[in-house]
């Protein structure tokens, strides 16, 4: 069980750069390398309402394991997909990165941060904002994501097309 | 445009004029003549189980609130204050002892009747009567509750709900019968997905079985290529079971058939749908047979309709516990809400499969929904072209559709018959309203 | 819609048709028939104290510039270049020796007359005349300066400003008289607050005293609960003095009364207002009596009007040094500007109280403004309902309003009389324009 | 508004009515009567060098695709699927073996003819004919290729391209002749710059030589002040060479002259333009003379036209390898695309100068473009004024323009003759379409 | 009087986390904890024009001491307020956190930063951007805010509803 | 040739503050001081398409050396420019600052970051988002910018007026 003191400043810097790397892969649409940051049982979750507790019995915008990540990787930019005839370009900014108050327990560290993302698609820029919550486990001299939760401020609001992870 | 007799000229036997998708004036007329006349889906009464529970939505452009009154009855009220017309309930849903307008504090019972007018003496000798309906939150003209599915019409002059639903009631019943306890229950908040298209493009698409194997080919091939890369004997994941049927052959869909019904309704399949192949979920059959016995259970599960359309506002499937609600916003904006429900008495696994299905198919972030979205949008982009005035819907006109017992006409699955049926009814509505549609 | 005779049908004795708030065509007509005919507030001449000072704004949809000319006179010019019509002055305010259009460099004197046309020979033998008004920045047809308050009308065919203002001039005079030096002075830039509503909803609300104790109840109760938690004998903060009157009783407001005047104007109170209870500010009485003597001072301070409405564009109070300007943008967008001023010769503390008041009441981030905003917005949301066509305004119709000296009719404070008065005038304007309103 | 006879009333000899810039209905009519009738620039065939290369754009509101077919021929097709009207090609440009609609998979040859209809048997006995043009991606009615510049008209009833272009063809030829190999080649993607103004304001501005020395004075003075601060004998940078001519005197521009042509076209200069003073680029003359010989080279380079307008959609210069395309979006939105090209066989330095020029003048981030933008926007802001109805264009009416060989009338450079010419033609188009414009 | 050298890297990290904490409380609508970050005489100021110098004699969008903060805390989400029937959800990002060039003097440190905030309210996302200026005093091993100034880039522009501090 | 290890944590902090300083000067419209952060041969480049390789033979939105920076400095706010009658106010946020994967070689360090910028102009806020790439050379105890590349996510999209560098 982690607390602020148990994560060294060096580790926080490593973690920040690790999160920047993840954002960079998504900005570049490089899902192959992006997936490699997730552990085998890693999961990406974007709830469809604030404070949603269960991804299995309530609908989410996204809830994907590596199986679906891999299918999505193969689908991204697919020549047969009408929606994929247009590029998606992104710029994600993370801020306020800090050790989360609520820790998952076990050997995972939960890092909370705020994000603003802008995606350009079909001549239109869409804004996304909210809170990231990354559960990380140490691996060699880096980390793996076992769980990433993305809480949009408008999770239960009207949504537009989303073709890649935020 | 505003000339109603013009409307019928926009629909011919084998095509419709592009203006039905593009003209704001026509959209305005639809709000009155279709969405103001037809029975429109409001919600499911399991959203408001307890007295005072309410849910707010719109019928066309009219804000309404569905509320559970003391007597347990479900009312659908106009969400408009009888004083100066402010919207009374602002939340999507909640629970209250009664309604109170936050502007000047007029208060209403759960059935919409006005009970409190502050500083009332100011109305003496003005002809004000607290009982006068004009000062209440008036009830929506027509309301019906079918197995918990609440429909309403802004018009009093409507066919009976039984006549209106016709054979689609068998889909509604089947959806509920599939619950061992014979009841469903809405779970969680819906997906709300904004489409930059006219509402009718979405409705047509529901029974358009010429598009899945083309517009949704990519996700299927991505899934196949993924599986190809897996080691021998990898267990076939549920996701594949959900994704692959979208790549079913034309023959498969043609065999499934499509049935066009009165009032613009239609459904695909009957005995078989793209969901027929789903693997059984442990414990479900047992629960069903315990409730219904083997015979009735077989009977219930033998019905397999894919996308029953209750025109213009609602669609559901037998085999998947999700329903979609059409919310027209403007001539080129439509919000599609997807709601999910539990089959009471069924294993939670059923709900989980539905949730997985809907995330993979209906979510704005799925690998299916955005491709449909894109096709609708492309229609808007293409129809602005000066090179053509009409949208063709002749497919299947060459074959005689055979009558189906329970009503309607059945044609091969990839026929445009459901489109033609929708526009025949559309033209009638636009000319005269529901009663003779 | 465009048929003017239709307009009068939208207003009845005890109600108005919802289309007056919702129809873009009606808004367009209002821009011509009301905002193009009535005397509209432009600004206060203390905004432009020095020669060459200018301030740009709009009258309805016409960009204008209020400017101080050499002779010290205040002009209101159409902010439109006589050449190809570009807006000449782009800044909100500034100081200049003359105006110069940045497109082709035509230049104008501070009174709008054209003085410079580059490379002028190109106009020889074209009938071009530098004196021809069509090439100048023309003066707005009617302009009047009342104690520094500048009003203008786009129409030449208007009643005299005295006739137009009628008894509201006593509010303007009182506002200025409350300055020991008899003059006020605008301070700082205004609050500019966007409202998603029709401008008339805001104007009605100004004399709607049925709403404060309801729509603004929360901040009062929050303040009370705060005070309850304070130790014994905590000094009563000024903020409470400002917030609590919004919770005044119906009786209090009824006693205050409301007076409806010619041309749609009205005001609440007279002897008493919700600001009557304000504690005195040290040094103010002394300064007043030094200027006016005891008698006249008492007389000045005895007038207490709450929200005098100078229809359609302007409202001010006697006791608070703030004024609000109505800027209609579209049928459902209205910008409200709140300006603040100093009473020349009064203790700075007076200004500070006004600033505190306005931050607590008028700011877009206050705990009062957003609740009004929400009520207007809810009216838009509710009025789209197909369930009703009319907005009721019958309150007080049962009592005979008594005539007030200085003109107008007085009724109890929570009467709808000011709304009815506004729409009676609205209908006249829409039919014919100001002259016979 | 929709009454076409009204249109001619909006244009008088020396002025136009402001509604031509402000009224959405008029914009809609323009889309049909001008952009639907005139020859409109589509693209340059060097954008699609190889078989299967395509480029998508719009003519007015019609999506089209310019494509290179097997035979090397360039087709301009309506980018609309013959099935239900979806836009087929979504990319700005690309290469393909044929077109395939992503909705239901209808496929087309590069000439637009329909070759594939999935599950076709559904159309038996429906009168469906794969050869029927209504099911194809139809060819735009009129297409012409002039030295690689592709023009098209949505109307079949048009003057010949030669008749339409008239003397502007000499600009096109000169632009290409300036390439030692006699051909140009588009390089890179364009600048796409959104203007919040009516498209005609931009078009007028192209030959408005009363504005540069005023609207663009700042960048020149900034450059001068910079140079003044440099040490003695600093080499005169190319940027200055580009910037300073915008400050040229009225006399200079008057001498340059402006020539008004048939169909609303016009150009400035002839022998001299603001680009005449450009320093030579090493190797260019040699390359030219090697190709053309001294005489012809001199002849080619002696032509110097500044901003030839091919009304309504296109403008180019002789001496700068950039062209601008007008894309009207709505009554107050216009996208200006600037494309750049290489003179085949010329030193790369020529291209580099053009790129520098365009960045300094045409970019949305330049110190020139945003000042033009601002002037157009100010016209919109000013024209809403109720104080005037007309926009003056009398400048130069006093002088008799003399006829120019090659057609058209020439007047002094700062005359409004090109505006008057544009609106004379505008009124004809609006009344009747191109044929008699 | 502070200058860059007088603030240790450790302190800057503490300060950054302190500011993130403040943003988090506002994102969560937790005004009770948010107030606790302010000193007894702490003030929040959002001017109504750039370069506004006096909050007392010129109008501001917000200028609140702890008295008003406390009233606002009690008003937030109040069942009687029409405007409070809808949730407000926010995501605030701070960037470019640095010691301000202009220091207030005394024992307070002025920290300047940039912020982008997005608030979701009534089905609409509103963007806010500008500059934060925090005057902090050390208290035990943390800080208190004595003065926070929020300069919106459009301070003098047309404003929409603002129901919580930015 | 640089790699992550070759830039000390101290330097990264200096660099971050250096980049914040640059953003601050632009937010303030202080082009004089902004220019001073560039080396004599320093260049600012905003391509007109993603992956644009050559600023000389293909069009860019901006490609300016110190000559043009200086002319622009003198033009900014010029009383004769119609477009300059209105102020431009900005708030730029940098995030994900890290040593770029691709290094320019020589003695320059390439720092990659993400930016979101909002500019208020003519009563309208415009959003800009994308990736910064700064090539820096050390000078005394600070740095100079030899090359700054600004890749907008919508570089090839429709652009609106841009009156100052992003
Ligand atoms: S509008 Fe509802 S109480 Fe007045
Ligand atoms: S438009 Fe003002 S000078 Fe031409
Ligand atoms: S719309 Fe193109 S194939 Fe159906
Ligand atoms: Fe589909
Ligand atoms: Fe109020
Ligand atoms: Fe220009």
Predicted confidence (pLDDT) at residue F126 exceeds the cutoff of 70: yes
d(CA A113, CA C144): 59
Which H or E run includes D107? strand D107-108
Give φ, ψ of C175 to 5 degrees.
-55, -40
pLDDT at position C210 is 98
Q: Is the CB of D106 under 6 A from ligand 3?
A: yes
pLDDT in tens, D368-392: 999 999 999 999 999 999 999 999 9
d(CA B228, CA B234): 10
Predicted confidence (pLDDT) at residue B435 exceeds the cutoff of 70: no
Counting Cα atoms < 13 Å in the Cβ hemisphere of C158 gives 26
pLDDT at position F4 is 47
Give the rounded percent of residues in chain C with a pLDDT score beyond 90. 87
| Torsion of the alpha carbons at C421, C427, C432 and C433, rounded to the nearest 10 | 50
Looking at residue B246, the DSSP 8-state letter turns out to be: G
For chain B, the residues whose C-beta falls within 8 A of a C-beta of chain E are 90-91, 102-103
Dist. CA A148 → ligand 5 center (Å): 45
Cis status of the peptide bond prior to B312, with omega within 30 of 0: yes
Q: Which two tokens stand for residue A146?
A: 């076992």
Write out residues with Cβ below 6 Å of ligand 2.
C 81, 83-84, 86, 101, 103-106
Dist. CA C56 → ligand 2 center (Å): 18
Evaluate whether D89 touches D79 at the Cβ level (below 8 Å).
Answer: yes
| Torsion of the alpha carbons at F103, F105, F109 and F111, rounded to the nearest 10 | -20
Closest CA to B184 of B152, B160, B150: B150
Cis status of the peptide bond prior to C312, with omega within 30 of 0: yes
The number of the ligand nearest the C-alpha atom of D211 reads 6
Which H or E run includes C159? none
**Chain A residue with minimal CA distance to D89?**
A85
CB-CB under 8 Å, B85 with C391: yes
Confidence band of B270 (pLDDT split at 50, 70, 90): confident
pLDDT averaged over 10-residue windows placed end to end, chain E, 166 residues: 67 94 97 98 97 96 97 97 98 95 93 98 98 96 96 98 98
DSSP D135-169: GS-PBPSEEEEETTEEEEES-SS---HHHHHGGGH
Q: Which two tokens stand for residue E117?
A: 């905030």
What is the residue with the minimal CA distance to atom 4 of ligand 2?
A: C104
Confidence band of B3 (pLDDT split at 50, 70, 90): low
Neighbours of chain E (3+ CB pairs under 8 A): A, B, C, F
A 94-153 residues with CB < 8 A to B: 122
Confidence band of A3 (pLDDT split at 50, 70, 90): low
CB-CB under 8 Å, C370 with E163: yes
Q: Ligand 3: which atom is nearest the Cα of residue D105?
A: 3
Burial B58-84 (b: 16+ CB within 10 A, else e): bbbbbbbbbbbbeeeebbbbbbbbbbb
Quick one: three-class SS letters along C41-84? Answer: EEEEHHHCCCCCEEEEEEECCEEEEEEECCCCCEEEEECCCCCC
**ipTM > 0.90 for the complex:** yes
Evaluate whether B314 touches B168 at the Cβ level (below 8 Å).
Answer: no
Q: Inform me whether the C-beta atom of residue A119 falls under 8 Å from chain F C-beta atoms.
A: yes
Predicted confidence (pLDDT) at residue F1 exceeds the cutoff of 80: no
- What does pTM read for this prediction? 0.96
| Mean per-residue pLDDT over chain C, rounded | 94
Q: Inform me whether the C-beta atom of residue F96 falls under 8 Å from chain A C-beta atoms.
A: yes
pLDDT at position A1 is 44
pLDDT at position C1 is 42
Residue F157: list chain A partners with CB under 8 A.
Answer: 120, 123
Closest CA to B175 of B21, B310, B79, B18: B310
Predicted confidence (pLDDT) at residue D435 exceeds the cutoff of 60: no
CB-CB under 8 Å, D135 with B385: no
DSSP F76-88: TT-TT-GGGGS-E
Burial of D111 (0-12, 13-18, 19+ CB in 10 A): middle
pLDDT at position F3 is 54
d(CA B47, CA F27): 50
pLDDT at position D405 is 82
Dist. CA C101 → ligand 2 center (Å): 5
Residue A22: list chain F partners with CB under 8 A.
Answer: none
pLDDT in tens, E45-56: 999 999 999 999
d(CA E48, CA C365): 11
Q: Ligand 3: which atom is nearest the Cα of residue B375?
A: 1
d(CA C294, CA C278): 19
CB-CB under 8 Å, B90 with E86: yes
pLDDT in tens, D145-178: 999 999 999 999 999 999 999 999 999 999 999 9
Contacts of D175 (CB under 8 A, 6+ apart): D147, D184, D316, D317, D318, D321
Dist. CA E58 → ligand 5 center (Å): 23
What is the residue with the minimal CA distance to atom 3 of ligand 2?
A: C104
Dist. CA D206 → ligand 6 center (Å): 7
**Chain A residue with minimal CA distance to E121?**
A154
Confidence band of B302 (pLDDT split at 50, 70, 90): very high
Q: Ligand 1: which atom is nearest the Cα of residue C210?
A: 4
The number of the ligand nearest the C-alpha atom of C362 reads 5
Closest CA to A97 of A12, A38, A6, A8: A12
What are the Cα distances from residue B232, in Å, to B227, B239, B244, B281, E164?
10, 18, 19, 25, 58
Helix (H, G, I), strand (E, B) or coil at D68: strand
d(CA D391, CA D383): 8
Tell me how far apart the terminal alpha carbons of chain A are, to the nearest angstrom. Answer: 28
Q: Which two tokens stand for residue C234?
A: 């905590």
Dist. CA E83 → ligand 5 center (Å): 12
Dist. CA A4 → ligand 4 center (Å): 48
pLDDT in tens, D194-214: 999 999 999 999 999 999 999
pLDDT at position C406 is 76
pLDDT in tens, C148-181: 999 999 999 999 999 999 999 999 999 999 999 9
Predicted confidence (pLDDT) at residue C246 exceeds the cutoff of 90: no
Predicted confidence (pLDDT) at residue B436 exceeds the cutoff of 70: no
Burial of C96 (0-12, 13-18, 19+ CB in 10 A): middle
Q: What count of other Cβ atoms lies within 10 Å of the Cβ of residue D207?
A: 26
F 67-86 residues with CB < 8 A to C: 80-82, 85-86
pLDDT in tens, F59-75: 999 999 999 999 999 99
pLDDT at position B307 is 93
pLDDT at position C435 is 45
Strand partners, C324: C315, C338
Strand partners, D67: D54, D75
Strand segments (E) across E16-123: 38-47, 60-64, 88-99, 109-121
Q: Ligand 3: which atom is nearest the Cα of residue B211?
A: 4
Residue D384: list chain C partners with CB under 8 A.
Answer: 61-63
Predicted confidence (pLDDT) at residue B437 exceeds the cutoff of 70: no
Q: Inform me whether the C-beta atom of residue E123 falls under 8 Å from chain A C-beta atoms.
A: yes
pLDDT at position C39 is 98
Q: At what angle do helices C369-383 and C199-206 cross, to 10 degrees?
A: 130
Q: Inform me whether the C-beta atom of residue D419 falls under 8 Å from chain C C-beta atoms.
A: no
Contacts of B140 (CB under 8 A, 6+ apart): B59, B62, B64, B76, B77, B78, B152, B153, B154, C387
Q: Which residue has the tokens 């020529």?
A: D350
Q: Ligand 1: which atom is nearest the Cα of residue C379?
A: 1
Strand partners, E125: E120
Provide the residues around ligand 5 (an ion) whose CB is within 5 A. Answer: C 372
Dist. CA A121 → ligand 4 center (Å): 20
Closest partner CB to C214 (pick from B80, B105, B138): B105
The number of the ligand nearest the C-alpha atom of B379 reads 3
Predicted confidence (pLDDT) at residue C279 exceeds the cutoff of 80: no
Contacts of D408 (CB under 8 A, 6+ apart): D166, D167, D259, D260, D261, D262, D265, D266
Q: Ligand 3: which atom is nearest the Cα of residue D84?
A: 1
d(CA D184, CA D45): 10
d(CA D100, CA A80): 10
Strand partners, F134: F111, F148
Burial B16-50 (b: 16+ CB within 10 A, else e): bbbbbbbbeebbebbbbbbbbbbbbbbbbbbbbee
Predicted confidence (pLDDT) at residue D255 exceeds the cutoff of 80: yes
Q: Is the CB of D101 under 6 A from ligand 3?
A: yes
Looking at residue C139, the DSSP 8-state letter turns out to be: B
Predicted confidence (pLDDT) at residue C383 exceeds the cutoff of 80: yes
Predicted confidence (pLDDT) at residue A158 exceeds the cutoff of 70: yes
Evaluate whether B196 touches B381 at the Cβ level (below 8 Å).
Answer: no
Quick one: three-class SS letters along C411-422? Answer: ECCCCCHHHHHH
Evaluate whether B167 touches B406 at the Cβ level (below 8 Å).
Answer: yes
**Chain A residue with minimal CA distance to E123?**
A157
pLDDT at position D113 is 98
Q: Which two tokens stand for residue A27?
A: 């900005």
Predicted confidence (pLDDT) at residue A135 exceeds the cutoff of 70: yes
Counting Cα atoms < 13 Å in the Cβ hemisphere of C30 gives 26
Q: Residues E20, E23, E26, CA angle at the centre, nearest 5°?
A: 155
pLDDT in tens, B140-188: 999 999 999 999 999 999 999 999 999 999 999 999 999 999 999 999 9
Q: Is the CB of D86 under 6 A from ligand 3?
A: yes
**Chain B residue with minimal CA distance to E87?**
B91
d(CA C391, CA D395): 55
The order of strands in the sheet holding C390-392 is C11-12, C15-17, C390-392
Neighbours of chain B (3+ CB pairs under 8 A): A, C, D, E
Confidence band of A7 (pLDDT split at 50, 70, 90): confident
Q: Inform me whether the C-beta atom of residue F2 falls under 8 Å from chain D C-beta atoms.
A: no
DSSP D204-270: HHHT-TTSHHHHTHHHHHHHHHHHHTS-TT----HHHHHHGGGG--HHHHHHH-EEE-GGG-EEEEE
Q: Inform me whether the C-beta atom of residue F154 falls under 8 Å from chain A C-beta atoms.
A: yes
Contacts of B37 (CB under 8 A, 6+ apart): B153, B154, B155, B157, B158, B429, B433, B434, B435, B437
CB-CB under 8 Å, E85 with B91: yes
Residue C105: list chain D partners with CB under 8 A.
Answer: 214
Predicted confidence (pLDDT) at residue C268 exceeds the cutoff of 80: yes
Closest CA to C414 of C395, C394, C391, C388: C395
Closest CA to C226 of E74, E80, E30: E74
């Amino acid at each position: 069980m982690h607390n602020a003191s148990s994560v060294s400043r060096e580790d926080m810097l490593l973690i920040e750069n690790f999160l920047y790397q993840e954002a960079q892969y998504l900005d570049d649409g490089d899902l192959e390398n992006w997936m490699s940051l997730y552990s085998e049982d890693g999961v990406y979750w974007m709830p469809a309402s604030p404070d949603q507790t269960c991804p299995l019995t309530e609908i989410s915008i996204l809830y994907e394991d590596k199986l679906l990540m891999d299918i999505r990787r193969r689908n991204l930019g697919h020549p047969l997909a009408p929606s994929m005839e247009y590029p998606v370009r992104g710029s994600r900014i993370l801020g306020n990165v800090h050790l989360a108050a609520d820790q998952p327990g076990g050997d995972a560290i939960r890092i909370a941060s705020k994000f603003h993302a802008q995606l350009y698609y079909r001549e239109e820029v869409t804004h996304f904002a909210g809170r990231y919550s990354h559960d990380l486990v140490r691996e060699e001299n880096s980390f793996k994501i076992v769980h990433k939760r993305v809480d949009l401020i408008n999770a239960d609001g009207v949504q537009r097309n989303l073709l890649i992870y935020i | 445009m505003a000339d109603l007799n013009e409307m019928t000229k926009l629909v011919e036997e084998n095509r419709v004029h592009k203006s039905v998708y593009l003209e704001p004036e026509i959209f305005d007329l639809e709000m009155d003549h279709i969405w103001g006349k037809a029975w429109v889906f409001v919600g499911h009464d399991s959203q408001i189980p307890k007295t005072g529970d309410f849910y707010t939505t719109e019928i066309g452009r009219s804000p309404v609130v569905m509320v559970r009154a003391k007597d347990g009855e479900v009312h659908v009220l106009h969400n408009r204050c009888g004083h100066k017309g402010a919207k009374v309930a602002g939340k999507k849903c909640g629970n209250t002892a009664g309604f109170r307008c936050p502007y000047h504090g007029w208060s209403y019972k759960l059935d919409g009747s006005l009970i409190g007018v502050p500083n009332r003496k100011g109305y003496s000798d003005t002809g004000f009567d607290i009982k006068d309906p004009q000062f209440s939150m008036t009830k929506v003209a027509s309301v019906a509750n079918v197995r918990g599915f609440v429909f309403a019409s802004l018009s009093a002059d409507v066919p009976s709900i039984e006549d209106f639903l016709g054979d689609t009631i068998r889909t509604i019943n089947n959806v509920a019968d599939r619950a061992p306890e014979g009841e469903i229950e809405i779970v969680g908040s819906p997906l709300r997905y904004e489409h930059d298209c006219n509402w009718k493009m979405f409705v047509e698409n529901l029974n358009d079985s010429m598009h899945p194997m083309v517009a949704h080919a990519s996700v299927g091939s991505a899934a196949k290529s993924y599986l190809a890369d897996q080691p021998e004997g990898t267990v076939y994941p549920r996701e594949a079971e959900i994704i692959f049927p979208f790549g079913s052959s034309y023959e498969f869909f043609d065999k499934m058939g499509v049935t066009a019904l009165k009032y613009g309704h239609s459904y695909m399949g009957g005995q078989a749908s793209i969901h027929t192949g789903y693997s059984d979920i442990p414990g479900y059959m047992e629960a069903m047979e315990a409730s219904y016995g083997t015979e009735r259970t077989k009977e219930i599960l033998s019905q397999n309709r894919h996308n029953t359309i209750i025109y213009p506002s609602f669609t559901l499937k037998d085999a998947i516990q999700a329903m979609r609600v059409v919310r027209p916003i403007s001539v080129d904006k439509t919000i599609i809400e997807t709601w999910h429900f539990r089959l009471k008495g069924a294993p939670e696994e059923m709900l989980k499969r539905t949730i997985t299905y809907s995330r993979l198919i209906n979510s704005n972030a799925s690998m299916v929904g955005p491709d449909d979205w894109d096709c609708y949008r492309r229609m808007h982009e293409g129809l602005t072209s000066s090179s053509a005035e009409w949208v063709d819907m002749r497919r299947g006109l060459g074959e005689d559709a055979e009558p189906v017992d329970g009503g309607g006409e059945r044609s091969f699955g990839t026929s445009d018959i459901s489109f033609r049926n929708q526009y025949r009814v559309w033209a009638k509505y636009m000319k005269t309203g529901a009663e003779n549609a």
